[in-house]
Amino acid sequence: MTYAHLYRHRWLLIRLPIVLAVVVMAAAAWRWLYPMPPTQLTISSGQADGAYQRHAMRYAEAFSRHGISLEIHSSEGSATNLQRLQAQPPQTDLALVQGGFGWSSAAGAARSAADVQTLGSVDIEVLWLFSREQPMTSLLDLVGKRVAAGPDGSGHRAMLQRLLKQMQVDLGQVAMTAHSGVAARDALLRHEVDAVFMVAAPSAPGIGALLSARGVYLASLRRTAAISERNNYLENRLLPEDTLGPGQPPADTPVLTTPTHLLVRQDLDPALKRLAAAVAMEVHGGADAFHRAGEFPALRFSDFPSAPEARRVLSQGLGGLEALLPFWWAQVLQRLLVIGVPMLLLALVLARLVPAWVRWRLENRVTRWYGELRFIENDLANNAVNLGGMDLSRIHGRLNGMETAIVGEGLPPELAQRCYTLRQHVNFVRQRIREYRGR
């Protein structure tokens, strides 16, 4: 295939392949270098009657308004949630985990927290201790008792075991059962257990059931300041009388609290991290028993490394296109700008440069023919040619080969005038040779 043929059919043979190649490159970049976020996420919440489950259901409703489906996986509690998030491959995208499972505690030291990030603390959980006979004043009162501490893998049991170990209590001296929530209240009223230990938000259904139950007492723990000093994921607070309703609690009660973290796997799409942080602001932006409106989500006192996307969203909100357009359309437009515009410019540049280069090759060939003619004319002008014999045959051969190449090249119409002029010059040289021979 000659350059002239390429140039004559440049739309089909040059520009169309360029467009197709750029489209393939753009599709590959869209798919592998800058893919669209997935449309489905999973969250590991908690037990069916707990606050984590309620939070997850509100997340699912908020995500659905942005075109994202959130699948909720119930679990035994925080320990299981963190294990699912840190599994290889991860078994969930988001997880709710109570404080004390990150880098600030012995429970989180066995595994690095580098593969998970927090989008913020989203709630405050209280360490609740209920008993049937009389209010307890210390965790040491649990020695020799049957305690509903939640199932294995729950944050309730992990927290209680950690605090008892700090108090030098042999865990074998406390009989722990898997009851939790409303089931723990029922077990306490049926005298199946002597106490209930839970780590839960005040809004959890099980907490309301225990606070309103007759003959059930909320512990008023002593030395809470010392416990919080020893565990920096705990905070000493005062739960005022009637905060949660009439007689709930019946008197000002010192309590220990810990934050609830909304965790995300580190390799989740950054756009989904930003959206999750915005959803958390929407769900947890109101007031509660221990915080005012707008205080949560927050990144202070975090047990886990914070996601950079969450820091930006919590401080500035969603920015750019995501603040102006629906989430999905913002992602599409971002990729059109990042991938589509450069690829379009590349296609336009190549579509102009490649045909121009082919034309330059053709013009360069015509120029070389002109140069060859000029050498022949110089030889004739300087009488450097013997017009008989071999020299004459050689010159005629060169002129005939040149004319055949000009005709056979099939130059495009844009160069037709130059070809016509070149053939005239070839005939002019032949005429000069005849004139020289006639002398």
Residue-level pLDDT at 102: 81
Residue-level pLDDT at 427: 77
Closest residue by Cα to residue 122 from 335, 310, 338, 393? 310
Local structure of 302: helix, strand or coil: coil
Closest residue by Cα to residue 172 from 147, 137, 203? 147
Residue-level pLDDT at 267: 92
Backbone dihedral angles phi then psi of residue 148, each to the nearest 5 degrees: -80, 105
How far apart CA 236 and CA 230 sit, in angstroms, is 11
* Overall pTM > 0.85: no
Q: Indicate the DSSP class of residue 37.
A: P
Find the length of the chain. 439
Bridge-partner residues for 102, per DSSP? none
DSSP 77-91: -HHHHHHHHHSSS-S
Structure tokens given for 396: 């005629």
SS3 of 134-156: the string is CCCCCHHHHCCCEEECCCCCCHH
DSSP 359-427: HHHHHHHHHHHHHHHHHHHHHHHTT-S-SSTHHHHHHHHHHHHHHHHHHHHT--GGGHHHHHHHHHHHH
297: preceding bond cis by omega (within 30 degrees): yes
Angle, vertex CA 3, rays to CA 359 and CA 11, nearest 5 = 75
Backbone dihedral angles phi then psi of residue 17, each to the nearest 5 degrees: -60, -35
Bridge-partner residues for 148, per DSSP? 177, 196
- Residue corresponding to tokens 């074998």: 172
Angle, vertex CA 348, rays to CA 325 and CA 8, nearest 5 = 145
Q: Indicate the DSSP class of residue 236.
A: E
Bridge-partner residues for 367, per DSSP? none
Tens place of pLDDT per residue across the chain (439 aa): 578 788 888 888 999 999 999 999 999 999 999 999 999 999 999 888 888 999 999 999 999 999 999 999 999 889 899 999 998 888 999 999 998 888 655 444 445 455 899 999 999 999 999 998 788 999 999 999 999 999 988 889 999 999 999 999 999 999 999 999 889 999 999 999 999 999 999 888 889 889 988 889 999 999 899 999 888 889 999 999 888 888 888 888 999 999 999 999 999 999 999 999 999 999 999 988 888 888 899 988 777 889 999 999 999 999 889 989 999 999 999 999 999 999 999 999 999 999 999 888 888 887 887 787 777 777 666 665 565 556 666 777 777 777 777 766 667 777 766 777 777 777 777 777 766 655 5
C-beta neighbour count of 387 within 10 angstroms: 15
Q: Which amino acid is at 149?
A: A
Q: How far is CA 299 from the centre of its chain?
A: 19
Q: Which residues contact 397 (CB under 8 A, 6 or more apart)?
A: none
Strands 217-218 and 195-200: unpaired
Largest CA distance in the chain: 141
Alpha helix segments (H runs only) across 216-340? 224-230, 270-284, 308-316, 321-324, 327-335
Q: H/E element holding 156?
A: helix 155-166
Domains and CATH numbers, the chain: 3-24+336-437 (no CATH), 34-319 (3.40.190.10)
Residue-level pLDDT at 198: 94
Structure tokens given for 18: 């360029």
DSSP 262-273: EEEETTS-HHHH
Residue-level pLDDT at 325: 92
